[in-house]
Amino acid sequence: MVAKKKKKYSSGEGAQFITRKAALKKLQLTLKDFRRICILKGIYPREPRNRKRAQKGAGGIKTLYHTKDIKFLLHEPIIWKLRELKVFQQKIRKARAMREYQKMKKYFRDYPEINIDHIVKERYPTFIDALRDLDDCLTLCFLFSTFPSLKKVPPDQSLLCRRLTVEFMHAVIAAKALRKVFVSVKGYYYQAELEGQTITWIVPHHFSFQPQSKDEVDFKIMSTFVEFYIMMLGFVNFKLYHSLNLVYPPKLTAAFNADADKDLVDERAYVAERIAAMNISVAKIAGANEVEELPEIDIFNTEDTDPQKLEEAKLEAEKVKKLKTMFKGLKFFINREVPREPLVFIIRCFGGEVSWDRDHFVGATFDESDESIAYQIVDRPRMDKQYLSRYYIQPQWVFDSVNARTLLPINKYLMGAVLPPHLSPFVDKTKDQVYIPPEERELNDPNFKPLNEDDASDEDIEEASDEDNEEKEEDSEDAEAVLTKQYQQEVEQDSQSEESEDDIDPQKKKIAKEKKKAMAVTTGVTHKEHPYQKEIEDKQAFRLREKLVRKKHRNLYKSMKAGQEKRKKEIWLLRKKRRLHDEKVKEDKKAKKQKQKMQMLEAASS
């Protein structure tokens, strides 16, 4: 019996991938609906190993999806909802064209709504899974919470983002989960730790909104992502509030209700309401106890117990415990020129109390005249009226204290002082190649001194250390030479005394003397190795080891080496930028001094 001939591209990569056009035909959806369903379900295009085989011999570059993903979409109930929506849209268009307005009202009343609860549960079966994927969700929701009503963005979407983001910030305050903060050009970077998961997100600065052109940003795609993220964040907030024994949904101010969109037109008023809401504690469930603190670390006897790692974990737990109550019992007053929202959020996260001028903003809890205020945060060179019972500091002190996990000395952050550099705490300590700026090295190592203008570079320092090693070797060689000389003198004295004592045949004496001379210790000559010989040998041995890498691991090894070279280049570029910046600063200082000297000479001559 003759075997049936296998059809080309019916197996392997040809059957594994499907083009977007074929996927649209299979699902019977428009491109707009297909994009929406893919975003909601988390399906994205794939890159094949061999594009020609995956495209079944077709040329060009096409958008490819896994065939199993498209088959998975066939059983999605939302597809039927999308088809119903299409039918209703056609009916509405027909009724509008026929001027049958009663039918139009009926169709709008019965317009089907898409519910995506089941998709959130499907994509995130556990609460920990949702927390792991919360970074992009929070960043996009905080961004949309600052948007006004746009053509491509539904108005209820931005309002819901505002409410959910404020609820999440309240949960972080109640859990005291904030760990790191950084102020950037993009906005404020925050990092919190919830249920053992690290969550990092960005909150944009509050500037006047500038609408983007249609070519730059596709708001429709972003809005589809937000549609899913809103549902996801609602689930996360609900779970967080119940784990913290808080009432959900919290009763916030009127600015966050759905009916308040028409009344609250001013963006400044909305921001003031949001900050005022953050300064008030959220209501707890009746009869619930306080959230328990994390217990001490339990130590279990295992085979691979590393005492150093256990000690590091204990120290980290103690630092976090101190960090949670860093501002406890301290009162802060914020001047009107300082951005209040990030400072209120940070101070409240670590147990502090905060207030501001009640004449300018709502929600103040105490006045400026309160004598119990410990710190007043200002961002101006001087103030006419000052209280002796408090410190006047700049806002950066709060951010740097959080990152240092302790209250820093205030002498560098006083009013009008030139601030130290604001260093990023988001540094990956596991990487072996990391650029550390001199300011950070000075903070971490008190003995470190940054190089001045006359100081040598790193290569000069290495050469100097090599010269010191050579001098030490020469000193050791001199000491050995002195010891051998003393030994030879002692041997000669012994031989002379023996000759005078013994009256033996001169011939025998001569032979004995030659034997002794042959047995005498002579000064050795040290063999100096070539300074770069060891380095050359190490490189040769390393190349031989590279050749021993197996074929299946060779590509992985090449990518690792490429990553190392890339990081090395980035570090070199950062060092070069820093050197050029320092040189420019020195030149500006010199030019300023010369200008002052010229002015003084002109004044003296006149």
For 382-412, write each residue's pLDDT tens digit.
888 888 888 999 999 999 999 988 898 899 8
Tell me the pairing of strands 197-204 and 391-393. unpaired
What pLDDT shows up at residue 4?
73
What pLDDT shows up at residue 262?
42
For residue 529, report the phi and psi dihedrals to the nearest 5 degrees.
-80, 155
Residue 3 pLDDT grade (very low, low, confident, very high; cuts 50, 70, 90) = low
What pLDDT shows up at residue 510?
80
88-92, 183-187, 503-507, 578-582: which has the minimum mean pLDDT? Answer: 503-507
CA distance 139 to 143: 6
pLDDT 10s digits, 84-96 = 888 898 999 999 9
Q: How far is CA 188 from the centre of its chain?
A: 12
Cα–Cα distance list, 157 to 152, 154, 222, 231, 252 (Å): 11, 5, 11, 11, 18
- Rounded (5°) CA angle 407-408-413: 125
List 356's β-bridge partners, or say none: 334
Q: Percentage of the chain surpassing pLDDT 90?
A: 27
Residues 6 or more apart in contact with residue 177 via CB below 8 angstroms: 171, 192, 193, 194, 349
What pLDDT shows up at residue 479?
52
pLDDT 10s digits, 501-538 = 555 567 777 887 787 777 777 777 777 777 788 888 88
Q: Which residue has the tokens 């380095």?
A: 535
CA 139, 141, 145, 147 torsion: positive or negative? Answer: positive
SS3 state at 590: helix
CA distance 409 to 399: 13
Question: Could you tell me where the DSSP H helices lie in 367-502?
Answer: 396-404, 438-444, 458-501
CA 83, 86, 91, 92 torsion: positive or negative? Answer: positive
Q: Which residues of 30-66 are buried (b: 16+ CB within 10 A; e: fewer)?
A: eeebbbbbbbbbebeeeeeeebebbbbeeeeebebbb
For residue 483, report the phi and psi dihedrals to the nearest 5 degrees.
-65, -40
Most confident range, picked from 118-132, 349-363, 424-438: 118-132
Q: Given its phi and psi angles, is residue 363 left (phi above 0), alpha (psi -120 to 50 degrees) or beta? A: left
HEC per residue, 65-119: EEHHHHHHHCCCHHHHHHHHHHHHHHHHHHHHHCCCHHHHHHHHHCCCCCCCHHH
Q: Which residues of 166-178 are buried (b: 16+ CB within 10 A; e: fewer)?
A: bbbbbbbbbbbbb
Tell me the pairing of strands 375-377 and 391-393. parallel
How confident is the model over 229-254, as a mean pLDDT? 86
Residue 453 pLDDT grade (very low, low, confident, very high; cuts 50, 70, 90) = very low
SS3 state at 242: helix
Q: Which residue has the tokens 């040809």?
A: 14
- Is residue 53 within 8 Å of residue 12, measured between CB atoms? yes
